[in-house]
Amino acid sequence: MKTNSRTARYAALALSGCLLLNLTGCATILSGTSQTVEVRSAPHGARVVVDGRDVGTTPLKADLKRGVPHTVQVSKDGYLDETVVTTTRGNGVIALNMILGGGVGAVIDLASGAATHVTPDAVAVDLVEEARPQSNVRLTGNSSDVSAGAGARFNLQ
């Protein structure tokens, strides 16, 4: 009878463990609810703002919440700003919930965002220099007569 009691105790522990696992999401446990996304720029040292929050200068790694798109803005003085909007895609780990029979776990993964990946998982931008206004300075007539944009004339004597 001692053996039956021990077996029943182990069975109860195993069943309790399975129930606890089903109350948590597999993707939440294995992947987490945030994801590290690397942000790089050429040239380096550009300011990075994610969803309106300044997160530093490139190159950097930012932890982004899974399950929602993010707006990543990269800017540097003298260059045009670049904006990248991330999207989400499914995380295959959620399938473990179905295999293990954890419908509750799937709901948890969906609610926490762990059921998705942020894509792209790296943002790399080549910043383009801002166009600088060109001065329309040209020499006319003799070398002492100069005209500069918008019809302005200068006499250098």
pTM: 0.60
50, 54, 58, 62: CA torsion to nearest 10: -50
Residue 87: per-residue pLDDT: 87
Confidence grade of residue 137 (pLDDT, cut at 50, 70, 90)? low
Above 60 in pLDDT, residue 39?
yes
Above 50 in pLDDT, residue 147?
no
Mean model confidence pLDDT for the chain = 74
Residue 6: per-residue pLDDT: 76
Sign of the dihedral defined by the CA atoms of residues 86, 122, 90, 17, in that order:
negative
Give residue-wise pLDDT tens across range 107-132. 655 555 556 767 898 999 999 999 87
* High-pLDDT (> 90) share of the chain, %: 36
Task: Say how many CA atoms lie within 13 Å of 108 toward its Cβ.
Answer: 21
| 42's tokens | 């050429």
Residue 74 neighbours by CB under 8 Å, 6+ apart: 39, 41, 46, 47, 48, 58, 81, 82, 83, 84, 123, 125, 127
Give residue-wise pLDDT tens across range 57-89. 999 999 998 888 999 999 999 999 999 999 887
Give the start-to-end residue ranges of the domains of the chain. Answer: 2-129
Overall average pLDDT of the 138-152 stretch: 54
User: Do residues 39 and 59 lie in contact, with contact meaning Cβ atoms separated by under 8 Å?
Assistant: yes
Cα(75)–Cα(53) distance, integer angstroms: 13
Residue 95: per-residue pLDDT: 56
Between 132 and 50, the more confident residue is: 50
Between 27 and 61, the more confident residue is: 61
Cα(64)–Cα(121) distance, integer angstroms: 10
Confidence grade of residue 2 (pLDDT, cut at 50, 70, 90)? low
